Amino acid sequence: MKWILFFWALPLAILGGWYYLSYYDINFGYIMLTRQMHDLVFEIYGNVLGIPPKDIPPLVFKAVIIDSAVLFLLFGFRRRKAILAWWNSRQKPASGDSALAMDNNLSRAP
Protein backbone atom coordinates (compact mmCIF):
# COMPACT_ATOMS: atom_id res chain seq x y z
CA MET A 1 0.00 0.00 0.00
CA LYS A 2 2.90 2.34 0.67
CA TRP A 3 3.99 1.99 -2.97
CA ILE A 4 0.52 2.96 -4.16
CA LEU A 5 0.63 6.04 -1.94
CA PHE A 6 4.14 6.83 -3.22
CA PHE A 7 3.14 6.49 -6.87
CA TRP A 8 0.04 8.58 -6.19
CA ALA A 9 1.83 11.38 -4.33
CA LEU A 10 4.87 11.69 -6.59
CA PRO A 11 2.98 12.60 -9.80
CA LEU A 12 0.71 14.94 -7.85
CA ALA A 13 3.70 16.71 -6.34
CA ILE A 14 5.37 17.03 -9.75
CA LEU A 15 2.18 18.29 -11.41
CA GLY A 16 1.41 20.69 -8.56
CA GLY A 17 4.97 21.97 -8.47
CA TRP A 18 5.07 22.52 -12.22
CA TYR A 19 1.67 24.22 -12.22
CA TYR A 20 2.56 26.56 -9.35
CA LEU A 21 6.00 27.49 -10.66
CA SER A 22 4.88 27.98 -14.26
CA TYR A 23 1.70 29.86 -13.31
CA TYR A 24 3.72 32.41 -11.33
CA ASP A 25 6.60 32.32 -13.87
CA ILE A 26 9.22 31.16 -11.37
CA ASN A 27 11.37 29.44 -13.97
CA PHE A 28 14.97 29.25 -12.60
CA GLY A 29 16.13 29.48 -16.23
CA TYR A 30 14.17 26.40 -17.38
CA ILE A 31 11.90 26.95 -20.35
CA MET A 32 9.42 24.33 -19.07
CA LEU A 33 8.67 26.51 -16.04
CA THR A 34 7.92 29.72 -17.98
CA ARG A 35 4.46 31.23 -18.19
CA GLN A 36 4.58 30.99 -22.00
CA MET A 37 5.09 27.22 -21.77
CA HIS A 38 2.28 27.03 -19.22
CA ASP A 39 -0.09 28.78 -21.59
CA LEU A 40 1.09 26.68 -24.55
CA VAL A 41 0.55 23.39 -22.70
CA PHE A 42 -2.98 24.33 -21.70
CA GLU A 43 -3.71 25.64 -25.19
CA ILE A 44 -2.61 22.30 -26.70
CA TYR A 45 -4.70 20.33 -24.17
CA GLY A 46 -7.65 22.63 -24.83
CA ASN A 47 -7.38 22.05 -28.59
CA VAL A 48 -7.09 18.28 -28.14
CA LEU A 49 -10.08 18.15 -25.79
CA GLY A 50 -12.11 20.77 -27.63
CA ILE A 51 -12.63 22.97 -24.58
CA PRO A 52 -11.28 26.40 -23.59
CA PRO A 53 -7.83 26.19 -21.93
CA LYS A 54 -9.05 28.09 -18.84
CA ASP A 55 -11.49 25.24 -18.07
CA ILE A 56 -8.78 22.58 -17.77
CA PRO A 57 -7.24 23.41 -14.32
CA PRO A 58 -10.57 23.07 -12.42
CA LEU A 59 -11.23 19.77 -14.21
CA VAL A 60 -7.80 18.47 -13.23
CA PHE A 61 -8.36 19.60 -9.65
CA LYS A 62 -11.69 17.75 -9.50
CA ALA A 63 -10.05 14.62 -10.93
CA VAL A 64 -7.30 14.79 -8.32
CA ILE A 65 -9.86 15.15 -5.51
CA ILE A 66 -11.91 12.20 -6.76
CA ASP A 67 -8.84 10.00 -7.29
CA SER A 68 -7.55 10.88 -3.84
CA ALA A 69 -10.91 10.09 -2.26
CA VAL A 70 -11.02 6.70 -4.00
CA LEU A 71 -7.47 5.92 -2.91
CA PHE A 72 -8.12 6.83 0.73
CA LEU A 73 -11.39 4.88 0.72
CA LEU A 74 -9.49 1.84 -0.49
CA PHE A 75 -6.86 2.42 2.18
CA GLY A 76 -9.57 2.73 4.83
CA PHE A 77 -11.33 -0.39 3.57
CA ARG A 78 -8.10 -2.39 3.81
CA ARG A 79 -7.50 -1.15 7.36
CA ARG A 80 -11.12 -1.17 8.49
CA LYS A 81 -10.62 -3.66 11.35
CA ALA A 82 -7.74 -1.69 12.85
CA ILE A 83 -9.63 1.59 12.43
CA LEU A 84 -12.76 0.13 14.03
CA ALA A 85 -10.74 -1.26 16.96
CA TRP A 86 -9.08 2.13 17.46
CA TRP A 87 -12.44 3.91 17.30
CA ASN A 88 -14.05 1.52 19.78
CA SER A 89 -11.15 1.87 22.22
CA ARG A 90 -11.63 5.64 22.20
CA GLN A 91 -15.40 5.44 22.70
CA LYS A 92 -15.52 3.11 25.71
CA PRO A 93 -14.30 4.75 28.93
CA ALA A 94 -12.78 2.58 31.61
CA SER A 95 -15.50 1.30 33.94
CA GLY A 96 -13.89 2.65 37.13
CA ASP A 97 -13.28 6.08 35.62
CA SER A 98 -16.88 6.58 34.52
CA ALA A 99 -18.29 5.68 37.93
CA LEU A 100 -15.88 8.04 39.65
CA ALA A 101 -16.72 10.83 37.23
CA MET A 102 -20.45 10.28 37.80
CA ASP A 103 -20.00 10.46 41.59
CA ASN A 104 -18.02 13.70 41.29
CA ASN A 105 -20.67 15.26 39.05
CA LEU A 106 -23.49 14.29 41.42
CA SER A 107 -21.71 15.66 44.47
CA ARG A 108 -21.28 19.05 42.78
CA ALA A 109 -24.95 19.41 41.88
CA PRO A 110 -26.75 22.24 43.74
pLDDT in tens, 37-83: 999 999 999 999 999 999 999 999 999 999 999 999 998 898 899 98
pTM over 0.85: no
d(CA 30, CA 28): 6
User: Contact at 8 Å (CB) between 23 and 35?
Assistant: yes
d(CA 8, CA 11): 6
What secondary structure letter does DSSP report for 84?
H
Tell me the three state secondary structure of residue 102: helix
pLDDT band at 91 (very low <50, low <70, confident <90, very high): confident
